[in-house]
Amino acid sequence: MDVAVLKEHISSRLPFGPAGVFAACGTGEFHALGIDEVGTVVAAAVEVVAGRVPVVAGAGGPLGHATSATRAAEVAGVDGLGFSFS
């Protein structure tokens, strides 16, 4: 994973005034990313946003994965969670 590219992607969109950043969620990323990757993505988003807008992290899939993603998001300092269970 190229974290520098991810940070640049997030940073370059902030001037357009998003209401928030949704990290490791949306179109099913929480199913495709390992827990370490979820933590990396979410921490990068929190760092880049630096409190300018809320960061919402995804948590979903099997209960164990969702629980681990929630813990990773908490450690990263997100503002909220988006859940989807299958």
Q: SS3 for 50? A: coil
Average pLDDT over the chain reads 90
The two tokens of residue 46 are 């929190």
Q: Is residue 48 part of a domain?
A: yes
Q: What mean pLDDT comes out for the span 14-26? A: 92
Q: Is residue 80 part of a domain?
A: no
The number of distinct structural domains making up the chain is 1
Q: How many residues does the chain have?
A: 86
Distance CA 39, CA 70 (A): 9
Q: Is residue 73 part of a domain?
A: no
Residue 65: pLDDT band with limits 50, 70, 90: confident
Q: Is residue 78 part of a domain?
A: no
Per-residue confidence (pLDDT) for residue 32, from 0 to 100: 80
Q: Is residue 2 part of a domain?
A: yes
pTM: 0.89
Residue 1: which domain range? 1-6+33-61
Q: Is residue 76 part of a domain?
A: no
Residue 86 has pLDDT above 60, yes or no: no
Comparing CA positions, the residue from 11, 20, 3, 33 lying closest to residue 79 is 20
Per-residue confidence (pLDDT) for residue 44, from 0 to 100: 97
Q: Is residue 11 part of a domain?
A: no
Residues 6+ away with beta carbon under 8 Å from 86: 31, 60, 61, 62
Q: Is residue 86 part of a domain?
A: no
Percent of the chain with pLDDT over 90: 67
